[in-house]
Amino acid sequence: MFAILGADLCAAGLVPIALGFTLVARSRNKWRGAAMAMAVVALMAALAPICAGIGGYMLGMSRVEAALELVDPDKRELIEKMGSEEAGQNLNFGFGTGCLCLVPALIALMLVPAKPVAHDDFA
């Protein structure tokens, strides 16, 4: 199961990682609003590998449950344990890739130029 969804998870993670590192390079932009919007888009794109991992886990567990119907009761517990471990690899990979995507997006968000403070001349 992991071999099937592994390439999809990797592809889902590479785009947000590349976007995040691009944002780190461009976050010292003069236009605060544009830099902030790009950082928010990168944060939202970081959810793609996490969602793909959750979807892979749910698909894997549904296949495990379908396979358990055809197995004799003696081996049911062993197959359920092995199937849940294999389905969990999708979840681990998705969350790991999602965290890697969040790091550059958060760095870019922190590097966005600060909003200028208005000074009151009459105070």
> Is 117 part of any domain?
no
Residue 43 lies in a domain: yes
The predicted pLDDT at position 107 comes to 75
- pLDDT for res 120: 58
* Residue 100 belongs to some domain of the structure: yes
| 56 falls within a domain | yes
* CA distance linking residue 102 with residue 96, whole number of Å: 10
What integer pLDDT is reported at residue 8 of this predicted model? 57
* 32 belongs to a structural domain: yes
Predicted confidence at residue 101, as pLDDT, reads 76
pLDDT in tens, the chain (123 residues): 445 555 555 666 666 666 666 666 665 555 666 667 777 777 777 788 888 889 989 999 999 999 899 888 899 999 999 999 999 998 898 888 888 878 777 777 777 666 665 665 555
Q: Which domain holds residue 37?
A: 2-110
Distances (CA, A) of 24 to 20, 57, 78: 6, 32, 47
Does 123 reside within a domain?
A: no
- Separation of alpha carbons 29 and 122, rounded Å: 32
Taken in order 70, 86, 74, 65, the sign of the CA dihedral is negative
Question: Could you tell me if residue 49 is inside a domain?
Answer: yes
> For the chain, what is the domain count?
1
